[in-house]
Amino acid sequence: MVRRLFLFALATVATELLALRESHAQLKDTVQLAPVTVSAQRYTRYAAGSRVQTADSLLLQRRPGLTLADMLQQRSPLYLRSYGNGMTATVAFRGTSSSHTAVLWNGFNIALPTLGMSDFALLPPSINTQVSLQHGPSGALHGSGAVGGAVLLDNPVSFAPQQQIQVQQELGSFGHQRTAAGGSFSNGRLALTSSFTRTAGDNDFWFKNTTAFGSPWETQQNAAFAQTSLAQELHYKLAPEQRLTVRGWYVKTHRQIQPSMGSANTHAQQDDENLRLMGEWQGQLADGTTTVRTAFFNDVLNYKDDGVLSLSKVNTYQSQVEHERALLPNLLLQMGGEGQLFKADVGGYAGKVQEQRFSAYGWLRYDPLPMLQLSLNVRQAWVQGFNPPLTPTLGANLQILEQGGNTITAKANVSRSYRVPTLNDRFWRPGGNPALKPESGWGYEGGLVHQHKNGPLTGTTELTGYALQVKDWIQWQPSATGGYSEPVNLQRVKGNGAELDSRWQYRLDENRSLSAGLAYAYTISQQKLPDERAQLQSRQLFYVPKHKVATWTEVRYRSWWLSSDATFTGRRFTDNDNNNWLPAYALVNFGLGKTFAWRSFETQLMAQVQNLSNTVYQTMAYRAMPPRNFRVSLALRWATQP
C-alpha cells in the first residue's frame, strides 16, 4: 500500500524527471549503466505543492568533470555567485542570500556551522550523486537554513548486481586538469562504490583590468587551486528488508584566493579539509520503516594572507531517527527526531565553543482522492539559548486535466522557514551576539504543471508564482561602540517572482534523440533602505538578478552526442545601496562526444568549448572570469552485468 501511494506521489511531483531519466536510461551506451533509483523520495513524498527539481542524474555520467557549480549555473534558474573559476561559489534561491540555502548530503545538513553556508566549489559530486533542488522555503522538511530553498545531494542505494570500473583524464586551458577513477560492485547483498577525483587549475588566464589606469591586459595572479576528493560507500543487506549503509566523503582543497581586480595581491590562500562519515540502518519495525542515521563531520578551514592567519576547525555530530508508516492506504506518516552537536575551535572566538540543537518533525501525506494529494509537515527546533518558531508546511497537488497524453496539475504550498544564527554570528570576537534571534520566513506559492507523453515526445512544463518574506534577517553592520562590525536582526526582506521550467525530449528511435530544456526565473527581492534624503526606499537586494534564463539542448546520433547550453543573467546590483551594478551577460558552452565500444569496454572522447563567445563577465564584482577556453577528455569504462 505504501508503495502504491509512494508511486502515486512521485507521479505528480517528480515524474517529469523520472520520465526523462528513464528515457535517458533507455538510450544508454552500449555498456549498461547502473539503474538509477530515486532517493530524494524521502522528501518528495511529503513535498506536495512545492517545487522540487531533480537534475538529470545521468548528466554527471555523460559529462564527468562537471562541477556542481557548473551544473547549477547551466541547468537551473539559480544565480551562482562565484569569486572566480574554482573559487568560492554560492547559490541563493528566490532572491535570498547564500546562507538561506540549506545543503543536505544524504539527509544531513552539511553547511559549515561557523559561516552557515556551503561553498559549492568544495563539493565535487561523485559520479553517482543525484542532485535535487528544493525551490522555496521548507523548514519542516529540511530544517534550519532552508529559507530560500535547499540543495539535496543523495547517493542512491542500489543492490542490482553489477561490476564497473572507470577512469577519466581531462585536460584544458589555463592548466586545467582532472583525473578521476571510480568503481562499483554489487552482488545483490553487498554493494560498494568508490570514487576518486583530483582537479587542479592554474587560472593564469588574461583579462582586461578595467580598474587600472589605461585598462591594461593582465595575467590573473594568485588563482591556482588543487582539489582531491575520495568517496566510499558500502551497503549491506542484513535481511531482505533490512540494510546497513556506511558512507565516507573526504575532500581536501588548496586554493590561492583570486584577488579583486585592482586590489593588492596579498598572496591569500585557503586550505579546506572536509571529512564526512555517516552510517545508516534501515529496517521494517513495528509495521513501518525505521531508519537510524548517525554522522560525524570534521571541517577545517585555514586562511592566510600576508597579514592575516585565521584557523578554524569544527567537529559536528548528528543523529536522526525516523519512523514511517501508512496509517491508512492513502495516509502516510513519518515522524522523526534529530540531534546536532557542534564543537568549534575557531581563532576568532574567545575559546572553544559548543552548541547543541535538536528538532522533532512529523510529516503527513494524505491523498483523499486519486487526483488530489495533500501534505502537512511540521518541525520544531530547540537550540541552546533560544527557540526557533514552529515551522509548518501545507501543500496540495490537484490534477485538473488528463487528456490525450497531457496532464495538467495545479499546485499550491504555504511554508514557514527558520535559520539559526551561525556560530560566527554568535561567538565571533568582537561583535558576536549570543542573544541574536533566529531568522524566520514565510513562503506562499502556486502554479501549474503540464506533462506530455505521446509517442516519441515527452515533456514537462512547470510554472510557479511565489511570494516570500524573511523577518529578522541577520546583517553585520558597524557597531555603535567602536570600530568593528556586529550582527543584528535588522531587516525584513520581501520578495516575489515567477519561475518557468520546461524540459522536452524527442526520441525518434534507438539511435536518434533530441532533448532540450529551459529554466527561467523572474526575481524581485527588496528591502527598505534610506536614500540620499534619508527616506526609506525599496531596493533590490544585491546580487539578485531580476532575470536569469538557462537553456540547453542535447542531440544524440548513434555513438555521437552534441550538447550546448546558454544562459542569460540580467543586471545585478553589487551593493545594497544600488550604487553599482554588473551588466547583463550571456554565456554559451558547447560539447561534442563520441563513444567507442568493444565487448564490455567503452571509451568516451569528449571535447568542450566553454564561454564560446569569449564574453567578459563577472558574477562577483571585479573577480575576473576566464575567457573562451577548451577541454578535452578521455574516459575508459569497463562493466559487466550478469
Partner 1 sequence: MKVNTLKKYFLYVLLGSSSLLTTSCDSDSEDSTPKGAYEHGVFILNEGQFGTPTAEVSFLSPETKTLIPDLFNKVNNRPLGDAAQSITFIGDKAYIAVNNSEKIEVADAYSFASKGVINGLKIPRYVAALNNNKAYVTEYVGYAFSGYTGTGRVSVLDLTTNSVTKTINVGLLPEGVLMYNGKLYVANSGGNTISVINTTTDAVESTILVGESPKHLVLDANNKIWVLRGGYGTPGALVKIDPANNNAITSYGFPLGTSGPGYLTINGAKNTLYFTYNGSVYTMATTATSAPTTALIHRDAYGLGIDPQSNTLYLGLGGYTSNGWVVRYQPTGTAIDSFQVRILPNGFSFR
Residue ranges that bind partner 1, judged by CB under 8 A: 210-215, 260-264, 304, 306-309, 476-478, 482-483, 485, 529-534, 575-577, 579-583, 621-622
Write down the least CB distance from residue 225 to partner 1, Å: 19
| C-alpha to C-alpha distance for 165 and 124, rounded to whole angstroms | 19
Question: Where does residue 210 fall: left (phi above 0), alpha (psi -120 to 50 degrees), or beta otherwise?
Answer: alpha
Q: How far apart are CA 197 and CA 169, in angstroms?
A: 10
Complex with partner 1: residue 303 or 522, whichever CB lies closer: 303
Q: To which residue does cell 551577460 refer? A: 585
In the complex, the smallest distance separating the C-beta of residue 210 from partner 1, rounded to whole angstroms, is 6
Please report how close the Cβ of residue 529 comes to partner 1 at its closest, in angstroms. 8
Q: C-alpha cell of 353?
A: 565553543
| 563: CB partners within 8 A, 6+ apart | 63, 552, 553, 554, 555, 590, 591, 592, 593
Using the minimum distance from each CB to partner 1, give the nearer residue, 265 or 611: 265
CB of residue 625 vs partner 1: minimum separation in angstroms? 16
Nearer residue to partner 1 within complex by CB, 210 or 454 = 210
- We find the least distance from the C-beta atom of residue 365 to partner 1, in angstroms, to be 44
Burial class (CB in 10 A: 0-12, 13-18, 19+), 18: middle
Of 477 and 511, the one with the shorter C-beta distance to partner 1 is: 477
Q: Which residue's CB is nearer to partner 1, number 214 or number 642?
A: 214
Q: Which helix (H) or strand (E) holds 22?
A: helix 15-26
Q: Which is nearer to partner 1, 374 or 544 (CB)?
A: 544
Determine contact, residues 248/234, Cβ cutoff 8 Å.
no
Contact 506, 457 (CB under 8 A): yes
* Consecutive H or E run containing 115: none
Work out how close the CB of 423 gets to partner 1 at its nearest, in angstroms, rounded to a whole number: 21
Nearer CB in complex with partner 1: 485/640: 485
Q: Output the CA–CA distances (angstroms, integers) from residue 243 to 108, 191, 291, 295, in the order listed.
A: 19, 11, 10, 17
Q: Which is nearer to partner 1, 262 or 405 (CB)?
A: 262
Give the burial string for 85-94 (b: 16+ CB within 10 Å, else e): bbbbbbbbbb
The least CB distance from residue 67 to partner 1, in Å, is 25
Residue 591 phi/psi, 5-degree rounding, is -145, 145
Q: What is the C-alpha separation between 464 and 144, in angstroms, rounded?
A: 24
Would you say 312 or 407 has its CB closer to partner 1? 312
Q: How far apart are CA 508 and CA 495, in angstroms?
A: 43
Residue with grid cell 534564463, as numbered in its chain: 549
Question: CB-wise, 358 or 617, nearer to partner 1?
Answer: 617
User: How many Å apart are CA 490 and CA 474, to the nearest integer?
Assistant: 6
Tell me whether residue 529 or residue 612 sits nearer to partner 1 (CB atom).
Answer: 529
Burial class (CB in 10 A: 0-12, 13-18, 19+), 215: exposed
* Assigned C-alpha cell, 416: 514557514
What's the grid cell of residue 338? 534529530
**Which CB, 504 or 622, lies closer to partner 1?**
622
**DSSP symbol at 20:** H
As measured in angstroms, the least distance from the Cβ of 83 to partner 1 is 11
In the complex, the smallest distance separating the C-beta of residue 483 from partner 1, rounded to whole angstroms, is 7
β-pair type (149-154, 79-82): unpaired
Decide if 461 contacts 474 (C-beta within 8 A).
Answer: no
Give the DSSP per-residue string, 521-537: EEEEEEEEEE-TTS-EE
Q: Which residues contact 345 (CB under 8 A, 6 or more apart)?
A: 312, 313, 314, 352
Instruction: Write down the least CB distance from residue 265 to partner 1, Å.
Output: 9
Q: How far is the CB of 9 from partner 1 (least distance, A)?
A: 45
Tell me how far, at minimum, the Cβ of 268 lies from partner 1, in Å. 10
Measured from the CB atom, is 307 or 404 closer to partner 1?
Answer: 307
Cα separation, 254 vs 268, in Å, equals 11
Cα 86 to Cα 83, 269, 440, 530, 624, distances in angstroms: 8, 13, 32, 36, 12
CB of 171 to partner 1, least distance (A): 33
